[in-house]
Structure 1
């Protein structure tokens, strides 16, 4: 398979599951609990529509070896967080925990963030309230059904490893746009 430039993510309006297509691969994916939205807002549970660069792969070194990928890689450490407080200067940026404003914990007990790719959504520069912590990560699966995310795109681990193996710094994720 050749390396493809864009990862395509599609869904029917209002649905929390969709398809992630990358070259010849086509995988089921989980989307935000509020489906896809053009006007992403902090806490709305929607996956933003748009074309987003893949900034960096983060991984849990105590659970996984660094996967094969062309993306920049960073190990997740205990104390890593991601600021989701719209009024804070570090909004939609990594922070060290404890942090004085609201921040998501990156070192999770579940496996959802064992691998995650930071998507270039609302980060250049961040606009307060336009959404934070939009990642491509491992899906939560119950009885074979991918569960909705809080606004991210998620795949089963084996599928994500395949996709990562073909990603380069030029790869972008195209969500809900032709």
Structure 2
């Protein structure tokens, strides 16, 4: 669960659950336990109705936007311009998961190879199917909370022992 300004919302997390941030590994399918700040927001401009703006630094997604997940690359866990010769995820997705996507501060400063990349807060698949390690919410919930998100907003991903307490934004 995710709580925000008194609301409790269902959310999706990693397909294999959660792990402590220091134990997070590239491709393990786990969401990293910890406290994270929202670093930036990216919105896909061709979707209608458009998503509301947040108070975060916001970029407009382009078809050529990608995110490097190749741990041996100097671009690991950074935005890249597609096509590239390294492994990178396309940010312009046909399934709409990244129509609104927010970068979480996991493994960004400093970056450590193989400690997990592309840990985002984004739109959920139908039925809140599990993610590859991100946190995801339905489009309607994102539309509701996006205008209130800023660089002061924090997300806390909790361990299973804390499962009675929701993840907080």
Structure 1 residue 68 displacement after superposition: 3.1
Which one has the bigger strand percentage?
Answer: 1
Question: In structure 2, what is the equivalent of residue 50 of structure 1?
Answer: 34
Give the aligned length.
157
TM-score (norm 2): 0.89
Query: Which secondary structure does the structure 2 equivalent of 1:160 belong to?
Result: helix
Which one has the bigger helix percentage?
Answer: 2
2:19 to 32, 37, 46: 37
Q: 2: CA distance between counterparts of 1:40 and 1:164? A: 27
Cα deviation 1:101-156 (Å, max 9, x = unaligned): 10000011111010000111101021000000000000001xxx210000000000
1:71 to 30, 38, 56: 56
Question: In structure 1, what is the equivalent of residue 2 of structure 2?
Answer: 20
Query: Which secondary structure does the structure 1 equivalent of 2:146 belong to?
Result: helix
Question: In structure 2, what is the equivalent of residue 90 of structure 1?
Answer: 75
Q: Does 1:160 align with 2:145?
A: no
CA RMSD of aligned residues (A): 1.2
Consecutive unaligned residues in structure 1, runs of 5 or more:
1-18
Cα deviation 1:59-105 (Å, max 9, x = unaligned): 11011435132111111001100000000000000000111110000
Question: In structure 1, what is the equivalent of residue 43 of structure 2?
Answer: 59
TM-score (norm 1): 0.85
Q: 1: CA distance between counterparts of 2:52 and 2:24? A: 30
Query: Which secondary structure does the structure 2 equivalent of 1:30 belong to?
Result: coil
**Segments of 4+ moved more than 2 angstroms:** none
